Amino acid sequence: NNGWAVGMTTLMYERLALGFGLQVRLRIALDGLVELARHTTKNGAPVTRDPVMRQKLAQLWIDTEVFKYTGARAITKLLKGELPGPEASTGKMMWVEGHQRLQELAMEIQGPYSQIMKGSPWTVAEGLWQHTFLRSRANSIEGGTTEIQRNIIGERVLGLPKG
């Protein structure tokens, strides 16, 4: 009765819809991270003056732009009446990995303050970054684990045998 095909198509539409919104959320989080870096000092200077931190922030910006255009490509395909394909899995994987890298950099920028949770007078941004850092780990499980997404890409895009 083609139940498996219907279920897989439904999941692809779900991943595609989520991916489109998630790229916006990732960009908003990146903008917040840049503000955090501008207002955080390390060795007496703003973190944004550190060339290594600037490179990491720039790489996150590049990754976010790639995610945005990958999402636009998937939406264009959908508007042409085509079924969502493996780009939905690519988008999900890009979100998870990009969001986790962003949250890890937020912890690095905060240094020792990254260990202080909400409720302490020394917490940064009322514990928002700590919460989203911990929450970002669950993103790699929801809607199909990152490993499943890699298998889909390997099989459907690269033509690799099932593992």
The pLDDT assigned to 45 comes to 94
Please tell me what DSSP assigns to residue 43: T
**Phi, psi torsion values for 46, nearest 5 degrees:** -60, 145
Domain ranges for the chain:
3-156
Q: Cite the active site residues.
A: 14
Q: pLDDT class for 62, splitting at 50, 70, 90?
A: very high
Kindly report, residue by residue over 6-59, the tens digit of the pLDDT: 887 777 777 666 667 788 899 999 999 999 999 999 999 999 999 999 999 999
The pLDDT assigned to 19 comes to 66
Topology given in CATH for the domain delimited by 3-156:
Butyryl-CoA Dehydrogenase, subunit A; domain 3 (1.20.140)
Higher pLDDT, 53 or 141: 53
> Could you count the other beta carbons within 10 Å of the beta carbon of residue 20?
17
The pLDDT assigned to 77 comes to 84
Classified as helix, coil or strand, 45 is strand
Q: Whole-prediction pTM value? A: 0.84
Strand partners, 41: 46
Which secondary structure element, helix H or strand E, spans residue 42, and what is its range? strand 41-42
Q: Name the average pLDDT for the chain.
A: 88
The pLDDT assigned to 17 comes to 67
How far is residue 131's CA from residue 7's CA, in Å, rounded to a whole number?
32
CA of 111: how far to CAs of 58, 137, 160, in Å?
20, 20, 42
Kindly report, residue by residue over 79-137, the tens digit of the pLDDT: 898 877 777 778 888 889 999 999 999 999 999 999 998 889 999 988 999 999 999 99
CB contact at 8 A, 83 and 9: yes
The pLDDT assigned to 35 comes to 97
* Three-point CA angle 134, 36, 44, nearest 5°: 120
> Could you count the other beta carbons within 10 Å of the beta carbon of residue 46?
13
How far is residue 103's CA from residue 129's CA, in Å, rounded to a whole number?
7
Q: Which residues contact 3 (CB under 8 A, 6 or more apart)?
A: none
